[in-house]
Structure 1
Amino acid sequence: MVFWEEHFSDETMGTFFPIVVYWIYAGVYHLLPSLKKFRLHTLEEKKQNNVVELPEVIRGVLVQQTFQVIVAQLLFFLTKKSGSMSTIQPAMKIQLLQFGCAMLIMDSWQYLTHRYMHHNHFLYRHIHSQHHRLIVPCAFGALYNHPLEGLLLDTVGGCISFLVTGMTPRTAVFFFCFATMKTVDDHCGLLVSWNPLQFFFENNTAYHDIHHQLHGLKFNYSQPFFSIWDRILGTYMPFDLVERPDGQGYEARSKKLQKNHH
């Protein structure tokens, strides 16, 4: 961190590092070989089902991140000016506690907001449906949302997590970069068992893939970390990972859908 400390403030890193991480991490997934044996959908399914092209996805993400930068800089400015923001790093155990609480707070905010956007017909049709143009999710499309949704769901959720936990801007750098990587991973469409983000979290790319399918639109709302609220509030849809007949990848197949087919 020494190099960064000499050239960037913690507030600047907290604003821009998550964006840099987003494009690098998503870019790695797109630059990797085809990795057919890890895909949840074939490239043909992706081409046929998605109703938005990659250039438009990238433009949409850049718009959301522009709002994200503005709000983050305003938040840091106001909290610093008011003197309510500490710049002294607490003990590591305190930071870990803040980290865990921020994860739960962000999950709670995103679950409730995300679910409401699905159940309010106006909000779904005019706002949230933009994200679901990607029936087959992709890494670059993790933050492809309507600008208002990006502001409410991601940016406001991040601000609440930051303010309630009282974390310092430096701790926020690590938290927001981690949350960004997890969000990208949930949309990457590749089931990689040795990826720690997929191994240690049940709420992973297969879990979220169910939500992007038509039969799963009213299930598996939880994001980006845990499945707690889905389980508590009855919106959890269990699934099996079924290997494709040609051995080229897996399919996240809803157990409810399988039952209905029998």
Structure 2
Amino acid sequence: GLYTLMDLTGRPAFLLRYKIQDTAPYPVSGWQVFRVVRQVLFNQLVVGIPFGLVAHQLLVWRGYDRSHQLPTFHWVLFELAVCVLVEEAGFYYSHRLLHHPRLYRHVHKQHHEWTAPIAITAIYCHPLEHLCSNLLPPLLGVLLLGSHPATAWLWFSVALLSTLNAHSGFHLPFFPSPEAHDYHHLKFNQNYGVLGVLDRLHGTDQQFRRTAAYRRHVMLLSLAPLKDLWPDEGKKSLQ
């Protein structure tokens, strides 16, 4: 909600200095946001609710931790780490498959209408993509481990906030860097994963690693925008 308010109004203005693609039209129009919201609601209601019901039945069939006692802190950390790695594999390979020309044209192209993404476009996509890339990968780790509901909901919250940040278009202080996925929207054929581990393994980040965006791909620990330190090549030559 806060991201969308900022995307519609361009305020607070002091945050605009953290915009990654600051040459893209901004703020965005209400009609653009309406089109996104319409698809997002469809995905959440028509795809998400039935998926949730099926996921619950799968967890019941597999068996999961129904204890009234919360899991220990170190076990939660272990399960979160497993979920992160499983999601990385599930998202990378499903996402890369969606870039096959036949699937891209009919399915994934909708998500890439936004070359400069905003947060709400995180699940602006074809329903099939929402199922295969947005819903299944985060569930797989929980299903594999039979996680306690508290751990599962913590993980789902982390995954949701992560994808909102990755699509926000802002590299804000003390937030995980969204530079890699923002670059994916800009260039299409780089950075298919979440963590970047499989991109490095398969060489699908080679172009990205030669850019200023890659040097900026760290958590910002000050209030000075990283693009002031590492501007894009075209801007650097003008300074």
Q: Does TM, scored on the shorter chain, surpass 0.5? A: yes
Report how many residues are paired: 216
Q: 1:221 — aligned with what?
A: 192
TM-score scaled by length of structure 2? 0.79
* Equivalent residues of 1:49, 1:136 under 8 A apart: no
**How many Å separate the matches in 2 of 1:140 and 1:180?**
11
Q: 1:4 — aligned with what?
A: none
Which stretch of structure 1 is more off in the superposition, 105-114 or 165-174? 165-174
Shift in Å at residue 249 of structure 1? 8.6
1:86 aligned onto 2:65: yes
Identity %: 24
Q: 1:201 — aligned with what?
A: none
**How many Å separate the matches in 2 of 1:141 and 1:128?**
13
Alpha carbons of structure 1 residues 221 and 163: separation in structure 2 relative to 1, 3 Å: same
**How many Å separate the matches in 2 of 1:185 and 1:28?**
15
User: Superposed, which structure 2 residues align to 1:1-262 within 5 Å?
Assistant: 24=1, 26-27=3-4, 30=7, 32-34=11-13, 35-42=15-22, 45-46=24-25, 53-66=32-45, 67-80=47-60, 82=61, 84-88=63-67, 89-118=70-99, 120-195=100-175, 198=176, 204-213=177-186, 216-223=187-194, 226-236=195-205, 237-238=208-209, 239-241=211-213, 250=227
Aligned AA for 2:41? L
Q: 2:219 — aligned with what?
A: none
Structure 2: any 5+ residue segments left out of the alignment? 217-223
**How many Å separate the matches in 2 of 1:95 and 1:48?**
40
The alignment partner of 2:212 has SS state of strand
TM-score scaled by length of structure 1? 0.73
Structure 1: any 5+ residue segments left out of the alignment? 1-23, 199-203
Shift in Å at residue 108 of structure 1? 0.7
**How many Å separate the matches in 1 of 2:105 and 2:138?**
25
* Equivalent residues of 1:39, 1:250 under 8 A apart: no
* Equivalent residues of 1:135, 1:212 under 8 A apart: yes
Shift in Å at residue 210 of structure 1? 1.0
Q: Which has the higher contact order (CA 8 A, sep 6+)?
A: 1
**How many Å separate the matches in 1 of 2:118 and 2:50?**
26
1:94-133 C-alpha deviation (Å, 9 max, x unpaired): 1210110000000111001111111x21100010010000
